[in-house]
A and B are shown apart, each in its own frame.
Chain A
């Protein structure tokens, strides 16, 4: 029991939430202040809505945009003259409304969820919304960040606020050392397998535990990126010295005295001892093998050393049916090992795994090896700045020499929309992809996706089939 006068212990999420409530709307709903609003090319329609209604953009200085979904990533794109209707709409809207727009192929350009932390736009303790479900990525900084639909996006443009329902909290403790060759992606795939695609539905997840504390910032983005694949609206990690060191000196981050003041405030951003979580689970990270998906749902995951589960052993009828459908779609058999399954494409990219550390890791395995002759393998950096930094280290040479395509920044094949849907995996083709969704048709109609880490993606590219990176 809290003593009279002592505030009740609160979760990290609730502290940030409470600090952003403008008004209570009843039934758990509140009008929430949005500190940062981020718009991508497909969300640029919101500005059309604003114009249609004759409304001004409430806070151009808190609004940021980048074009990522529909742009091409071909290294031969003539960027000086390139355009598409969505990009043109963003450019024109930026001129009319005066928000910051990172135009293509220049510093600050790239996938929104890679750009906002990298530029220091997203900050601990802030709220950030974007018309994209993977906005939960940003929670890794200790922010409350969520994806919205088009109508809510328009609401934020017009009001800098959002109507949201306070979610119940869940804590996922990931404990133990991370075995060699095991990446944050393996950890989150394993967590999703344990929790299920609906296991955190509507919840705000706080990831904690020693495996998270030991993880660098980029790995934490990978973990939070996939919170939505468990149905969560939010994923987050308490900010610590790793977070502050990552943000310090970033272009849009506070500087000087304001930085010190901000950090002092951010140090208080942690869950109080005794705060109540509606759900809490502990998942050990030791003994993990590299993980990958075998089916058409992000929780259909196995360790590379396991065999595909048999639907006959599944007692839940609904889940059994979805396993049978998934197997028929991906063309695999129960009991089969994934190792040795031939592949056609490899995609290293996306807001899950296209930051500098991901590319370094991939390059470390690609170095001195060759992509199998029948495999088309792409490396698509998450942002222009990631690409520049990777090139400064010579990672592009390593990939190109190994037979990978080294491309420009963007979403590309991740959502099957890159270059107005020309960048997609062909029907019937099998891809090992570092992305976050393996839904039917996600990377192009009829495409079959196996989600995995950048290390496992390289192993597959080299072997020409699914392989264990530890055997490389």
Chain B
């Protein structure tokens, strides 16, 4: 993963609560040519926010924020509470990343969505709703009035007007973002601890480690 140190860009406000993963990424399985066509990630860029972004005929809705001039390249999303609730489908995160969103600021998130953000180079920031309202109030009509910056190391958001707001992050998440180190690499480094745990646990709960074949 690329290290994520600072995000600078237009902030788009989408102050809707409970935006679920089906709204963010209503993608459907498709019949590809064969198993080789199954990608680790399937991206259909046009699907992002499809129920909000397009009308019934599939034309872009002029009033949807990411269709408005100055926000087509937004990198920050100012969202409502419980953003990304619903299913575990990571497409929601992939589509946001694919669009160019690097930071989502919301009062709260769906749990699986929140964790998945970190693994895909998106910084999810939790801030109280009234602070987000202040940020939204500072979003101008378009660039450059809507350019915010978010700094990972210090945990600071700077608004177009120069106001600074602090946010918290779990420390191991912060250092992983800054180093670009991926969770798998990090965990595999600690393989010994896993082996020791399993050896102890195997003695305490042998039925968990049965050779897992059907027993008659």
By a beta-carbon cutoff of 8 Å, the part of chain A in contact with chain B is 19, 22-23, 25-29, 31, 33, 35, 42, 44-46, 48-49, 52-53, 55, 61-62, 64, 69-70, 84-86, 88-89, 92, 100, 121, 123, 125-126, 131-133, 147-152, 154-155, 158-161, 163, 165, 167, 197-198, 201-202, 231, 233, 251-255, 258-259, 261-262, 265, 297, 318, 322, 416-417, 420-421, 437, 439-442, 445
In whole Å, how far is B20's beta carbon from the nearest beta carbon of chain A? Answer: 6
Is B35 in contact with A159, judged by CB distance below 8 angstroms? no
Cβ contacts under 8 Å, B108 to chain A: 198, 201-202
Chain B residues within 8 Å of A297, by CB: 18
> Which single residue of chain B is at the shortest CB-CB distance from A61?
B212
- Known A198-B85, A439-B22; judge A29-B172 contact (CB<8 A): yes
Is the CB of B179 closer than 8 A to any CB of chain A?
Answer: no
Partner of A85, one of B34, B208, B209: B34
Q: Given contacts A22-B193, A148-B112, A160-B194, is CB(A254)–CB(B51) below 8 Å?
A: no
Main secondary structure of the interface of B (DSSP, over half): loop
CB distance from B148 to the nearest CB of A (A): 24
**B90 CB–A CB distance under 8 Å:** yes
Q: Are A149 and B41 interface neighbours, CB within 8 A?
A: no
Which residues of B83-140 have CB atoms within 8 Å of chain A's CB atoms?
85-90, 93, 108, 110-113, 115-116, 119-120
Tell whether, in the assembled complex, residue A31 and residue B190 are in contact, meaning their CB atoms are under 8 Å apart. Answer: yes
Cβ B116 vs Cβ A152 within 8 A: yes
Measured CB to CB, the nearest residue on chain B to A160 is B194
B171 adjacent to chain A (CB < 8 Å) = yes
Decide if A133 touches B51 in the complex (CB within 8 Å): no
CA distance A95 to B213 in the complex (A): 16
A/B interface sample: 6 pairs, CB < 8 A: A148-B112, A150-B90, A159-B187, A202-B111, A322-B17, A417-B28
Closest to A424 in B: B28
**Given that A42-B29, A61-B212, A159-B194 are contacting pairs, would A149 and B187 also be in contact in the complex, using a CB cutoff of 8 Å?**
no
A180 to B41, CA, bound (A): 48
Q: Is the CB of B207 within 8 A of A149?
A: no
Closest to B114 in A: A202
Query: Can you add 10 more A-B contacts, CB < 8 Å, to A159-B194, A318-B17, A322-B18?
Result: A25-B170, A45-B40, A45-B42, A85-B35, A147-B88, A149-B115, A150-B40, A201-B82, A318-B80, A421-B29
Whether B31 pairs with A420 at a CB distance below 8 angstroms is yes
Given A149-B88, A154-B184, A258-B207, A161 contacting B194 (CB threshold 8 A): yes
CB-CB nearest in chain A for B170: A27
Which residues from A are CB-within-8-Å of B183?
Answer: 151-152, 155, 163
Please measure, in the bound complex, the distance between the C-alpha atom of A26 and the C-alpha atom of B172, giving whole angstroms.
7
Q: Determine whether the beta carbon of A159 is less than 8 Å from that of B184.
A: yes
Given contacts A27-B172, A158-B188, contact A152 B82 (CB under 8 A): no
Q: Which residue of B lies closest to A152 (CB)?
A: B115
Tell me if B166 is interfacial: C-beta within 8 Å of chain A.
Answer: no
A231-B214 in contact given A22-B197, A155-B187, A417-B29 (Cβ < 8 Å): no
Q: How long is the Cα–Cα vector from A324 to B105 in the complex, in angstroms? A: 26
CB pair A85 B32 closer than 8 Å: yes
Q: Which of B61-69, B153-161, B198-206 contacts A (4 or more CB under 8 A)?
A: B198-206
Of the residues B30, B38, B86, contact of A133 by C-beta under 8 Å: B86
In the complex, what distance in Å separates the CA atom of A88 from the CA atom of B207?
32
Contact residue among A26, A27, A161, A253 (Cβ-Cβ distance under 8 Å from B187)? A161
A231 proximity list for chain B (CB < 8 A): 82, 85, 110-111
Q: Are B197 and A441 in contact (CB under 8 A)?
A: no
Contact at A149–B35, with CB atoms within 8 Å? no
B168 shortest CB reach to chain A, Å: 9
A-B contact count (CB 8 A): 200
Q: Which B residues between 146 and 183 are near A, CB-CB below 8 angstroms?
A: 170-172, 183
Pairwise interchain contact B210-A251, C-beta atoms closer than 8 A: no
Report the separation of the CA atoms of residues A52 and B41 in the bound assembly, to the nearest whole angstrom: 12
Q: Which residue of B lies closest to A319 (CB)?
A: B17
- Contacting residue for B35 out of A89, A131, A255, CB 8 A: A89
Which residues of chain B have C-beta atoms less than 8 A from A100's C-beta? 212-213
In the complex, the answer to whether A62 meets B212 with C-beta atoms within 8 Å is yes
B26 touching A441, Cβ below 8 Å: yes
Contacts of A258 in B (CB 8 A): 206-207, 210
B39 lies within 8 A of chain A by Cβ = yes
Within 8 Å CB of B113, what residues of A?
149
A259 to B215 alpha-carbon distance, docked (Å): 12
Contacts of B18 in A (CB 8 A): 197-198, 297, 322
- Distance of B58 from chain A, by nearest CB (Å): 11
How many Å lie between the Cα of A61 and that of B207 in the bound state? 13
Contact present for B188 and A159 (CB under 8 Å): yes
Shortest A125–chain B CB gap in Å is 7
With a CB–CB cut-off of 8 A, which chain A residues contact B17? 198, 318, 322
Q: How far is the CA of A251 from the CA of B191 in the complex (A)?
A: 31
Give the docked Cα–Cα distance between A84 and B116 (Å): 27
Chain A hits for B33, CB < 8 A: 85
Min Cβ gap A107→B in Å is 10
B35 touching A439, Cβ below 8 Å:
no
Q: How far is the CA of A149 from the CA of B119 in the complex (A)?
A: 10
Q: How far is the CA of A238 from the CA of B20 in the complex (A)?
A: 30
In whole angstroms, what is the CA distance A385 to B30 when docked?
28
Bound: A151/B88 CA distance, A:
11
Known contacts A85-B31, A439-B22; A150 and B41 CB within 8 A of each other: yes
Contacts of A45 in B (CB 8 A): 38-42
Known: A132-B88, A133-B88, A161-B187. A440 touches B23 (CB 8 A): yes
Are the CB atoms of B208 and A123 closer together than 8 Å?
Answer: yes
- Is B170 touching A265 in the complex (CB atoms < 8 A)? no
